[in-house]
Amino acid sequence: MFLRCGEQGRRRYIEGEIIPPGVAAGRGTGVHKANEVNLREKVKTSKDMSLGDLHDVARDGYVNSFRNGVYIPRSRLSEKKKLLNQGLNDTIRCTTIYKQKAAPLIHPVDVESQFEITVEGIDLPLAGRMDYQDEPTVGDLKTSSKTWHKDRIRDEIQVPFYSFVHEHERGIRPKFVYHVLIARRNKVGEPTGEDYQPLEHTCSDKDYNALFAKITMFMKMLKAEVFPPANPTAWWCNREYCGFFDT
């Protein structure tokens, strides 16, 4: 967040201004909860849960993500109920794709594992939580309304970050997999189809060097207390996507 928009990061993580999640974030939360519960069970039984049970978990995760409110752009407040219902429907659609396409490929040895490691030359620990790890793969789920560009996985900071931590802790450079679950809608909001898009990347030393260049820049921002706002032409610098936009 700090690298995408320093001002957004400052207000969220330094000033503590918390904007409720939007509908798309709720969709992701619901599907991730279904994945977490399923993989924890799979570690014990080696089997995936039933589709009906996964739908129940995803629905609860989606609803609970809005227990402290939901962000709806001011221009679309009159559509709030419709947007929330569409989001729930897309959560169920993505969970079905997950059950049919992604879950059978995942054989986890660790689920939702928290980590905190110290790296020489970095003043703060690196910490986070991984969706799952198997050997020798690290993976994550992404929900979307459209197909990703095939090279996008190379640009995501999460990929070298989690890969480095896995290698640091286990001594194995992993293959990183994104399971992209796509629930499409047309311009008037009608469902038009579902897709599953697996993307894979194994990081190079160059990827790790780029990661630590970003971390070093982030540390300089923190120390100098300089937090550049996003370029106003960036797609995320928009009231449709950013709850801080109007203020």
How do residues 146-187 score in pLDDT, each as one tens digit? 999 999 999 999 999 999 999 999 999 999 999 999 999 998
- What distance in Å separates the CA atoms of residue 80 and residue 75, rounded to the nearest whole number? 10
Q: What is the pLDDT of residue 135?
A: 77
Q: Which residues of the chain are under the pLDDT cut of 50? A: none
Q: What is the pLDDT of residue 193?
A: 96
From the number of C-beta atoms within 10 Å of its C-beta (0-12, 13-18, 19+), residue 73 rates as: middle
Question: Which CATH code fits 6-224?
Answer: 3.90.320
Strands 175-185 and 191-202: antiparallel
Domain ranges of the chain: 6-224
Q: What is the pLDDT of residue 240?
A: 82
- What distance in Å separates the CA atoms of residue 84 and residue 23, rounded to the nearest whole number? 6
Q: What is the pLDDT of residue 239?
A: 86
